[in-house]
DNA sequence: TTGAAAGCGCTAACAG
DNA sequence: CTGTTAGCGCTTTCAA
């Protein structure tokens, strides 16, 4: 350490810099001043190595070019910054393989904990359970795995979708279609169930085409939506279970001159900042993304900081907000 | 290292794991197998400490909840992953102070290089020059500082804005207004200059209200836009120099029943995925965000990997694309 | 082909 | 209050 020009030991300097109570005030001042003059910045990796913690967390998610996830990231970053932690963002691009590699890397000591929203192609849970087994705190946000014994922050997926369906039913829609995003993510399943339950409770028939699974590439889902909206048995309402589907519904409706909301009412889960200025403005189920990020980070830090908390499994459910706009008028 | 159950030295194991030529093939196999069985994952920080590089880069930007920046991040991540590097995302939230702290931290050995798009409130360049002085490669993307002697990847801001103005002029607009986003970021200045030049070249008068500076909070810019659109001398066309301003133009137009494009034509710099389904669809100047991320990362890695390249200053300019839609019909 | 030893920069434990 | 020593987990000579 260069700050030994003061004829002090590295230990003293180290303590002075971290404002230890056992160092003379005068000495501290001298050290701090010289450190600034020399632009000395401690190496965090050396510190990590010694202290066996990294003061950084991993945030593993499918994609950041998504209004929901990007807001979550903001929330996480905010809490992390307050806590003096770094947040390492890992993008899976919905690829299970990549996700597994990332979680593997998370066990290297690089991070003290991980926040994750799983990819759509994630089938096995082994990579996640391995992290947990390594005693590295892990918390799910939004796309959680039910079968993992860890904490999670999700929204009221069932209820909000139930309410969305009821809203459409109250508008006299007869053929409501639910666009499912993935067959193996629990929150999407819950959304689907909320939809089904509302349909049943209101004695609406569920046909084979009431639920359309739109997995895969944008062009694949586009094709499915196109087929759906051009069929003679076209639905009169759509609930999109995720943002990436709703833009395509709008495009297909536009290209086929299907009028929203007159011929087709639309509701979507989304945090698009432009929902209110779309043509027509879109009725949304808006998740409290930023807050979810904050809460997930909080849960994680409480486990990182207090190992005793690691066994307690908290399932936090935040309410989404339905904002009615022209697409369901 | 636990893999000493094989009666091998740590040195041998280390070499075997990194597939060194000086290790017996048989030994390598044994080591690798046991490593897998024991789920051994090397500690990257120990490695960093010893090798004096971190295999990670910093990405410093204002906000990730922005369609442009989030795409850039995707591009950067993709290249970083190919190169086996980690990308640490730092968010400044347009705060100069925070940006300075972050760049300070970048000199700790935590990262091998930094990619940055400066915040709107960044006035001094000292924090950036300090990074450069520490011989840590730094590359700007989009919001670059002209006065720093380093490489950058930007778009043809002057030209694209010139073209946007010409487009509006060709549509017979008489009172075109440019919404400026920041007074001290060079790309915004260039956009403004492109606008001014087009106006001059076409003999359009530039009045005091031709350029409106919309700095500060969303509500502040909203107020400015509201005042602008309600004035008796209301413009008949607007060029928004950044995405966050255009959504507000749309809202204000809507709340005041100003018809776009009939009474007001609008063009904006933006990468919003919903530009085509807005009401009305928006004419955009779209920057090649993903590609900018890729290129900036490439420039950075070439400097990280070859110190000889560090002195060469490359200014890469990528073309934006003007997509004409209903807002300028 | 393998191993012993040194050391990256820091902090914790313990003496002084 | 300050310093000495040891060692975090790895890689790199250099020697065997």
Tens-digit pLDDT profile for residues A135-178: 999 999 999 999 999 999 999 999 999 999 999 999 999 999 99
φ and ψ of B285, to 5 deg: -105, 105
Which positions on strand C lie below 7 Å from a protein C-beta? Answer: 1-5, 7-13
**How far are the Cα atoms of A94, A139, A171, B77, B287 from residue B291, in angstroms, in the given order?**
20, 33, 45, 12, 9
Q: Distance between CA B12 and CA B24 in Å, rounded?
A: 10
Q: A-contacting residues of B 65-84, CB under 8 Å?
A: 65-67, 70-71, 73-74, 77
Of B70, B250, B281, the CB nearest to A65: B70
Whether residue B107 lies within 8 A of chain A, CB to CB, comes out as yes
CA distance A144 to chain B (A): 22
Interface test with B, best of A53, A79, A89 (most B CBs within 10 A): A89
Q: CB neighbours of B140 closer than 8 A, spacing ≥ 6?
A: B115, B116, B117, B118, B148, B150, B151, B152, B153, B154, B296
Confidence at residue B3, expressed as pLDDT on a 0 to 100 scale:
62
The model's pLDDT over A238-296, given as tens digits with 9 standing for 90+, comes to 999 999 999 999 999 999 999 999 999 999 999 999 999 999 999 999 999 999 999 99
Question: Does the beta-carbon distance from B65 to A67 stay under 8 Å?
Answer: yes
Euclidean distance between CA atoms B286 and B37, whole angstroms: 50
The alpha-helical segments, DSSP class H, found in A52-174 are 67-83, 96-105, 126-133, 157-170
Q: Is B29 exposed, middle or buried (0-12, 13-18, 19+ CB in 10 A)?
A: exposed
Using a CB–CB cutoff of 8 Å, tell me whether B329 touches chain A. Answer: no
**Are the Cβ atoms of B277 and A87 closer than 8 angstroms?**
no
**d(C-alpha B204, C-alpha A254), whole Å:** 37
B99 part of contact set with chain A, CB < 8 Å: no
Chain A residues with CB inside 8 Å of B89's CB?
A: 73, 77, 87-89
Q: What are the tokens at A259?
A: 């009028």
Q: A248, A264, A277: best mutation site toward chain B, by most B Cβ within 10 Å?
A: A277
Contacts of A292 (CB under 8 A, 6+ apart): A72, A75, A141, A142, A153, A154, A155, A318
CA–CA gap between residue B1 and residue B10 (Å, rounded): 7
- Distance (Å) of CA B216 to CA A78, A82, B287: 20, 23, 23
pLDDT at A2 over 90: no
The answer to whether residue B41 neighbours chain A at the CB level (below 8 Å) is yes
Q: What pLDDT, on a 0 to 100 scale, did the predictor assign at position A186? A: 93
Instruction: Identify which of B195, B286, B210, B281 has the alpha carbon closest to the alpha carbon of residue B243.
Output: B286
The single-letter DSSP state of residue B278 is: B
CA distance A295 to A222: 34
pLDDT of residue A3: 62
What distance in Å separates the CA atoms of residue B203 and residue B198, rounded to the nearest whole number?
8
Query: HSE of B207 in the Cβ direction (CA atoms, 13 Å)?
Result: 8
Distance CA B324, CA B242 (A): 17
Count of CB atoms situated within 10 Å of the CB of B226: 16
Distance from CA of B192 to the nearest CA of A (A): 25
B87 touches A: beta carbon within 8 Å: yes
A316: left (phi over 0), alpha (psi -120 to 50) or beta: beta
The residue among A50, A180, A55, A187 whose CA lies nearest residue A117 is: A187
Closest chain B residue to A65, measured at CA: B70
- H or E segment and range at residue B49: helix B44-51
Q: Per the structure block, which two tokens stand in for A319?
A: 């309410």
Q: Is the CB of A8 under 7 A from strand D?
A: yes
Q: What is the pLDDT of residue A145?
A: 95
DSSP string of B59-72, one letter each residue: EEES-SSSHHHHHH
Quote the tokens at residue A201: 């409770």
Which chain B residues contact residue A131 at CB under 8 A?
Answer: none
Is the torsion defined by CA of B13, B19, B25, B26 positive or negative? positive
pLDDT attached to residue B2: 62
Return the closest nucleotide (C1') to the Cα of B13. Answer: C2
Six token digits for residue A196:
């089904």
> Which residue is closest to A106 within chain B, CA to CA?
B41
In this prediction, residue B1 carries a pLDDT of 63
Q: Mean pLDDT over all residues of chain A? A: 94
Place of tokens 């639905």: A235
* Cis ω before A7 (30° cut-off from 0): no
Q: For residue A141, what pLDDT is reported?
A: 98
Instruction: Tell if the CB–CB gap between B45 and A54 is shorter than 8 Å.
Output: yes
The pLDDT of residue A194: 97
pTM for the model: 0.95
Is A67 in contact with B63 (Cβ distance < 8 A)? no
Which of A102, A182, A186, A81 is closest to A141 using CA atoms? A186
Q: Of all nucleotides in the shown strands, which has a C1' nearest the CA of B1?
A: D9
Q: Is the pLDDT of residue A216 over 90?
A: no
Quick check: B296 and B73 in contact, CB under 8 A?
no
What is the CA B32 to C1' D16 distance in angstroms?
25
Candidates A236, A262, A232, A266; CA nearest to A249 is: A266
- Whether A304 contacts A112, CB under 8 Å: yes
**Which residues of chain A neighbour B41 with C-beta distances below 8 Å?**
104-105, 107-109
How many residues does the structure list for chain B?
A: 329
Query: Of all protein residues, which has its CA closest to the C1' atom of C2?
Result: B12
Q: Please report, in tens digits, the pLDDT of each residue of chain B (329 residues total).
A: 666 677 888 999 999 998 889 888 988 888 999 999 999 999 999 999 999 999 999 999 999 999 999 999 999 999 999 999 999 999 999 999 999 999 999 999 999 999 999 999 988 999 999 999 999 999 999 999 999 999 999 999 999 999 999 999 999 999 999 999 988 899 999 999 999 999 999 999 998 889 999 988 889 999 999 999 999 889 999 999 999 999 999 999 999 999 999 999 999 999 999 999 999 999 999 999 999 999 999 999 999 999 999 999 999 999 999 999 999 99
The whole-angstrom separation of Cα A142 and Cα B258 is 39
Interface test with A, best of B91, B112, B292 (most A CBs within 10 A): B91
Q: Which nucleotides of D are covered by protein (CB under 7 A)?
A: 1-5, 7-13
Token pair for residue A166?
Answer: 């009821």
């Amino acid at each position: 350490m260069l700050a030994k020009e003061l004829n002090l030991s590295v230990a003293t300097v180290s303590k002075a810099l971290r404002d230890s109570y056992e160092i003379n005030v005068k000495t501290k001042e001298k050290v701090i001043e010289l450190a600034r003059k020399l632009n000395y910045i401690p190496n965090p990796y050396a510190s990590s190595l010694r202290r066996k913690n990294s003061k950084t967390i991993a945030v593993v998610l499918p994609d950041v070019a998504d209004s929901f996830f990007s807001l979550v990231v903001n929330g996480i970053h905010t809490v992390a910054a307050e806590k003096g932690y770094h947040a390492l963002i890992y993008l899976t691009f919905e690829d299970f393989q990549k996700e597994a590699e990332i979680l593997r890397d998370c066990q290297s000591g690089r991070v003290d904990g991980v926040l994750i929203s799983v990819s759509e192609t994630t089938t096995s849970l082994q990579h996640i359970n391995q992290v947990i087994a390594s005693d590295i705190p892990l918390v799910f946000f939004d796309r959680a795995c039910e079968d993992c014994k860890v904490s999670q922050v999700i929204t009221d997926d069932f209820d909000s979708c139930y309410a969305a369906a009821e809203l459409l039913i109250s508008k006299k829609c007869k053929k409501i279609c639910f666009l499912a995003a993935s067959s193996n993510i629990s929150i999407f399943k819950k959304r689907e169930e909320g939809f089904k339950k509302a349909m049943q409770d209101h004695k609406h028939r569920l046909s084979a085409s009431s639920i359309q699974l739109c997995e895969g590439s944008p062009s694949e889902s586009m094709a499915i939506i196109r087929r759906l909206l051009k069929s003679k048995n076209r639905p009169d309402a759509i609930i999109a279970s995720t943002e990436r589907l709703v833009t395509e519904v709008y495009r297909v409706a536009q290209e086929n001159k299907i009028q929203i909301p007159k011929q087709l009412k639309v509701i979507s889960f989304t945090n698009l900042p432009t929902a209110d200025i779309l043509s027509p403005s879109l009725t949304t189920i808006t998740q409290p993304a930023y807050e979810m990020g904050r809460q997930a980070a909080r849960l994680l830090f409480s486990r990182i900081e207090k190992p005793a908390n690691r066994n307690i499994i908290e399932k936090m459910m935040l309410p989404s907000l339905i904002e009615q706009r022209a697409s369901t008028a």
